[in-house]
Amino acid sequence: MDHSRKANREGNEKTLQYKSRQETLLDEEFTEGKLTELLASISQLDQTPPGADELQRRRKLFGECKRIDGETSGQFYARLRQWLEREIPQTKSPLHAPRQTGE
């Protein structure tokens, strides 16, 4: 096995994975913007009765989703999206079966 070839390939991969400081700042600004939009939509959702009910159920089932100290915007955005997209399990069946109205 040619070790110099493997080392050269690994060096090229590291170079391709490197992001400039400018690109990193743009990514952070983009993520910060997406997080701001998501928090604003949650706030609007909380203003409607059905939205407030759903958020309350999520808080009761999954706990409050608040930013943790030291958490980046990207990490919090991903965790908040997951919290919002989780399925809420059915807890109760209807008391009565739907009425059959056939003539």
Q: What is the pLDDT of residue 92?
A: 64
- Residue 76 contacts residue 100 (beta carbons within 8 Å): no
Q: What integer pLDDT is reported at residue 14 of this predicted model?
A: 64
Q: What is the mean pLDDT of the chain?
A: 82
Give the model's pLDDT for residue 29: 87
Residue 34 exposure: Cα atoms within 13 Å on the Cβ side:
15
Residue type at 5 in one-letter notation: R
Q: Which of 58, 54, 77, 57 is nearest to 67 (CA)?
A: 77
pTM exceeds 0.85 for this model: no
Please list the rounded mean pLDDT of every run of 10 residues in the chain (103 residues). Answer: 62 65 80 94 94 93 92 93 89 65 62
Q: What's residue 26's pLDDT?
A: 78
Q: Which two tokens stand for residue 4?
A: 């110099």
Which of the 8 DSSP states describes residue 70?
Answer: T
Cα 60-76-86 angle, rounded to 5 deg: 40
